[in-house]
Amino acid sequence: MTAAGFVWNLSALLLCLPLMVGACALFTNGLEWVGKKKAWSHGVVGSVLASLGTTLPETAIPLIAILVIGTHQAKDIGTGAILGAPFVLTTVAFAFSGAAAMFYSSARKSANHVLQSDILVKDLGWFVAAFSVALLCTRLRSAWLRLPVALALVLAYVLHVRGHFGELRQEEEDPSQLYFAPKHSNPHLATCAMQALLGLAIVLPIAYLFVTRIESLSSSIGVAPALLSLFVSPVASELPEIINSTIWMRQGRSTLALGNISGAIMFQGTILVALGMCLTPWLPERKVALSGAFSVAAALFAIFALRREKSPSLLLFCAGFYVAYLLLIMH
């Protein structure tokens, strides 16, 4: 890579970050108001709607690699990205949320955030069950044997979403003023939805640009395609979830903050995995497949942490699973 190319890639990365923060702020603020206007539960707003919106960048990467490019190497990249997304969310994203919870609680001199841990534990329980089955299927060489499992994963996600829509909303203080209507205490639903959609529309191309620049920089140092996609693409494309979570955590809305992450984990551990099982050989190399086991372990620890305390600060230790995995594969 030339010096000019390096400077361009680095400049693009630095420009992406403030733009993505602003777009995510628009999205989360608008989505919160949509949820309030429709009387949807925090599970619907955080675990379903927000997660579906912010998961689009990391969903696009394996789909483009598998369906558009379609080479053997591209399918390896797609598989690595599929397994890497829940790995990064259960470790890095949860750790960021735990750190944000500790920081903002300390800043407010408040011991705990308001947290509906049952919503999050339910999401993670579904993920652990579904993803564990998917990992066992990496030993199945027949696509026909994997097909019924893939269909079961899709059904699991549908049931998960249906369960959230059956929840009751717990009332709390109103969201901060809608950015598109700062002088209105009761903005129109259409205005709220338009702001959320605009934020999402800005997030997607920025996330795509961020990922491509990261990959361009990383490929110059000779990283294997599957491992590159496992670490680089998910870490970059999960930034919307991490930023959304931090914004909501700053506002003391821990259920929305963590629900955005747990909902994305559930989507990627079922729908994306089902696509990977059907469209690729689903035979990842050992180091890549091992990341799935660490994802399940980190999710189990998160369930333990959320059940033990009403504060999400213990999730900071999820970063230990990421570090442990790095140390293991380096040997």
Q: Considering the domain boundaries, does residue 196 fall inside one?
A: no
Residue 180 has pLDDT above 80, yes or no: yes
| Residue 61 to residue 88: CA distance in whole angstroms | 15
Contact 237, 207 (CB under 8 A): yes
What average pLDDT does the chain have?
A: 81
Q: Considering the domain boundaries, does residue 132 fall inside one?
A: yes
Which range is least confidently modeled, 61-70, 76-85, 130-139, 151-160? 61-70
Q: The whole model's pTM is what?
A: 0.80
Which residues are within 8 A (CB) of 232 and not within 5 positions of it... i.e. 6 or more apart?
211, 214, 215, 218, 223
Residue 112 has pLDDT above 50, yes or no: no
What's the rounded mean pLDDT across residues 267-283? 90
**Higher model confidence: residue 46 or residue 297?**
297
Residue 197, Cβ density class (10 Å: 0-12 exposed, 13-18 middle, ≥19 buried):
middle
**Higher model confidence: residue 306 or residue 175?**
306
**Higher model confidence: residue 311 or residue 290?**
290
CATH of the domain at 110: 1.20.1420.30
- Number of domain units in the chain: 1
Q: Considering the domain boundaries, does residue 111 fall inside one?
A: yes
Helix axes 319-329, 286-308, angle to 10 degrees: 160
Give the three-class secondary structure for 6: helix
Residue 223 is inside which H or E element, if any? none
Residue 223 has pLDDT above 90, yes or no: no
**Higher model confidence: residue 250 or residue 1?**
250
Which range is least confidently modeled, 13-22, 74-83, 109-118, 200-209? 109-118
Which range is least confidently modeled, 167-171, 293-297, 314-318? 167-171
Residue 179 has pLDDT above 60, yes or no: yes
Residue 294 has pLDDT above 80, yes or no: yes
Contact 252, 100 (CB under 8 A): no
What's the rounded mean pLDDT across residues 102-116? 63
Q: Considering the domain boundaries, does residue 127 fall inside one?
A: yes
Q: Considering the domain boundaries, does residue 228 fall inside one?
A: no
Predicted confidence at residue 218, as pLDDT, reads 61
Contact 258, 75 (CB under 8 A): no
Q: Considering the domain boundaries, does residue 201 fall inside one?
A: no
What domain range is 263 assigned to? 42-168+237-329
pLDDT-above-90 percentage for the chain: 24
**Higher model confidence: residue 174 or residue 330?**
330
What's the rounded mean pLDDT across residues 210-218? 66
Q: Considering the domain boundaries, does residue 224 fall inside one?
A: no
Q: Considering the domain boundaries, does residue 50 fall inside one?
A: yes
pLDDT-above-70 percentage for the chain: 80
**Higher model confidence: residue 109 or residue 14?**
14
**Higher model confidence: residue 236 or residue 62?**
62
The C-alpha torsion from 175 through 181 and 187 to 193, rounded to 10°, is -80
